Amino acid sequence: METPAHIPEVSVIVPVYNDKDSLPSVIEGIRKAMSGVFDTEIIVVDDGSTDGLSQDSIPGAVRFHRHSENMGYGAAIKTGLRHALGSCVVIMDADGTYPAEAIPALVRALDDCDMSVGARTGATVHIPLVRQPAKWVLNRLANFLAGRRIPDLNSGLRAFRKS
């Protein structure tokens, strides 16, 4: 494999499944947050969406990869990681529930840790009632095992060094 002429500092991987409507604003938010802060590439991995998502429906330049069928969130992340050029990787969900403005702080936090994780907290976070009991049990177990409080166990906003 040839070495690319330009290697960005940060690769932002956005796994997508039927998020055509929210994706453009998520991409714009990433661009705005990272502009002039870190040299960034955006990698969109479409995990077999059925909502008509295509590279043409995404504003501006992104690296786009598509699974021919839905293979799952983890597979979409792995595809993005295989194509990421940056030494730092950010994973951000495409549903618009995480603020892109948080990305630079998560990347800077890597000076002191191996991974930094965003957390949805506060009154605006809404978990469907049917999922609340299971999430409560899982969170209690994870907090116990970690020996500390984990505010958003299933966070869709993470930064880590690719190495």
* Entry pTM: 0.84
Place of tokens 């730092």: 88
pLDDT of residue 136: 78
- Length of the chain counted residue by residue: 163
Lowest mean pLDDT among 74-83, 130-139, 141-150, 154-163: 130-139
pLDDT of residue 120: 67
Q: Alpha-carbon distance 95 to 80, whole Å?
A: 17
pLDDT in tens, 31-90: 999 999 999 999 999 999 999 888 888 877 789 999 999 999 999 999 999 999 999 999
Residue 153 pLDDT > 80:
no
